[in-house]
Structure 1
Amino acid sequence: MEPLVPARTDAYLRRLGAARPARATADSLRELHLGHLRTVPFENLSIHLGEKLVLTPDAVFDKIVTAGRGGICYELNAGFAALLGALGHRVELLQARVYGKDGALGVPYDHLALRVDGRWLADVGFGDHTAYPLDLDEPGEQKDPAGAFLVRPAPDGDLEVLHDGVPVYRLETRPRVLADFLTGAWWHCTSPESGFTKGPVCSRLTADGGRITLRDHTLIATSADGDRTEEELATDEEVRAAYRAEFGIVLDRLPVPLHPRP
């Protein structure tokens, strides 16, 4: 990813409510990572609004910063990569295959994650995942507000990321370019087998360590200690109001599931 120009860097930082770090350090990376998760939602609304997902630096910036939206992994981590590069970090795009509930790996280029400064695994595009980057040099378990994480070698030379003992995704260590992910993005945006096409979802971390999620017409609030409440929104206007209040997203129409769940 090409780094952002200074004006766009400043605009992205304003989007996050963050000051420009004096230096590119592990601590500043942690702060930006958490701020991104709290501010820019993971959302697949474009799929259900009939909007084309465009994987170019300009399109990603315009969606996240200019339009105040979020996105799926390809967009969120690409945007974060461009910001980090502009702030002095060395960033590489890595492809991963996500483990399904049946334990099978997903399609190639299933997920985009970031290796930062040769050491840190940053991922602001996986929904409910780490609050902070993981240390790729740490062989043991790593504690995070989201749980216990482990990065271990896979049999084929890749890396596996585990959350509370459960494999989450298999990470390839070879650097990629953004265009490599076009096929994976197309599959996720069109296939009836993709979870992303089943219905709209929008989710972000909250300042108190919890999470707020809007899935179809259900508003879900999860506290930092795991308590969960659900509210069914009765009208379209209530749903649009929730998008505005919780995520800063203004919609003139609601997303319609591309391939609704049976």
Structure 2
Amino acid sequence: MDVDAYLDRLGVAWPAAPDLATLRHLQERHLAAVPFENLSIHLGEPIELTEDALFGKIVRRRRGGFCYELNGLFAALLRSLGYDVSLHAAQVFRPDGTLGPPLDHAAIVVSLDEDWLVDVGFGRFSRHPLRLAGVDAQSDPDGEFLVLDAPLGDIDVLQDGKPQYRLERRPRPLSDFVPMAWWQATSPSSHFTKSLTCSRPTSQGRVTLSGDRLIETVDGVRHEVVLASEAAIRLAYRVYFGLALSRLPTPPGESPLTSGELSPTLP
């Protein structure tokens, strides 16, 4: 991996040591610089879960991605910087409180003096590492987080009292997530095929572009505007997210490729 290029993508100087303060800074900068987005699904681009492919997309082409991509590559960067890192699968809680399928999400655990949950691929979530052994609420710019014991030794993560996902303790290689990444990118039942989103936190809140709707939250106040032209949408992708797209993604329901063409790419 070209660590210098990745750090430049994040706007970060080469860190002095793989400690908690550096980890916190890297996570903040990754979230701010690399958007959470599912544009590839609506551009007809394959989801390739290999380090080379992810580096080319996120660093060289200065794109974003969803959980498997963002946390998969960030984990590789952290290892290159000397951190003890593992990827873990999670099941995301649905609005009705039931759990999604296994490997629904990928998150990072970093072992320092204790284990820390790091996640740059869940949209609006913690901006700082969360102590996995913590029993008290952990304050963060994006809410108050609780980490609770769950059945079978798993861990439930709550944000502002609402369950977000159930994390496995078992570490997994990135290749374990390939089939579920394919399902997320192709299934009509996947919320990623049903919606188009590009989002990142800002110093005052969050900015999201969903199709032609630009949504900004500033100091807790939500502002929404409908962009009237393709030129305005392209400009918003460039100004707010640093994305220079050669073409706009196709709206959900009008997929440019069939599921068979978006076949999984194995490492």
- SS class of match (1:103): coil
* Structure 2 residue 202 is matched with structure 1 residue 212: no
Please, which of 155, 159, 177 is the counterpart of residue 155 of structure 2? Answer: 159
Match of 1:221 in 2: 216
* Structure 2 residue 199 is matched with structure 1 residue 203: yes
* Structure 2 residue 123 is matched with structure 1 residue 127: yes
Match of 1:240 in 2: 234
* 1:61-210 alignment runs, 5 A limit: 61-117=55-111, 119-206=115-202, 208-210=203-205
Count of aligned residue pairs for this structure pair: 252
The Cα of 1:184 is off from its aligned counterpart by: 1.2
- SS class of match (2:220): coil
Please, which of 42, 57, 64 is the counterpart of residue 48 of structure 1? Answer: 42
One-letter amino acid of the counterpart of residue 186, structure 1:
W
The Cα of 1:252 is off from its aligned counterpart by: 2.0
The Cα of 1:216 is off from its aligned counterpart by: 0.6
Q: Give me the whole-angstrom Cα distance separating, in 1, the residues matched to 2:16 and 2:63.
A: 27
- SS class of match (1:104): coil
Dislocated runs of 4+, deviation >3 Å: none
The Cα of 1:152 is off from its aligned counterpart by: 0.6
Q: Give me the whole-angstrom Cα distance separating, in 2, the residues matched to 1:58 and 1:171.
A: 27
Q: Give me the whole-angstrom Cα distance separating, in 2, the residues matched to 1:129 and 1:169.
A: 11
- Gap regions ≥5 residues in structure 1: none
The Cα of 1:259 is off from its aligned counterpart by: 3.1
8 Å Cα contact 2:137-2:146 kept in structure 1: yes
Q: Deviations over 1:179-220 (max 9, x none)?
A: 1001110111011111110132100111x2411100010000
**Normalised by the size of structure 1, how large is the TM-score?**
0.94
Identity %: 54
Q: Deviations over 1:40-85 (max 9, x none)?
A: 0000000000000000000011100000000000000011101111
One-letter amino acid of the counterpart of residue 187, structure 2:
S
8 Å Cα contact 2:204-2:217 kept in structure 1: no
The Cα of 1:228 is off from its aligned counterpart by: 0.6
The Cα of 1:233 is off from its aligned counterpart by: 0.2
8 Å Cα contact 1:205-1:211 kept in structure 2: yes
Q: Deviations over 1:78-115 (max 9, x none)?
A: 11101111111010000000001121111111000000
Q: Deviations over 1:96-139 (max 9, x none)?
A: 00001121111111000000015110000000000101011211
Please, which of 21, 31, 34 is the counterpart of residue 37 of structure 1? Answer: 31
- SS class of match (1:172): strand
Match of 2:244 in 1: 250
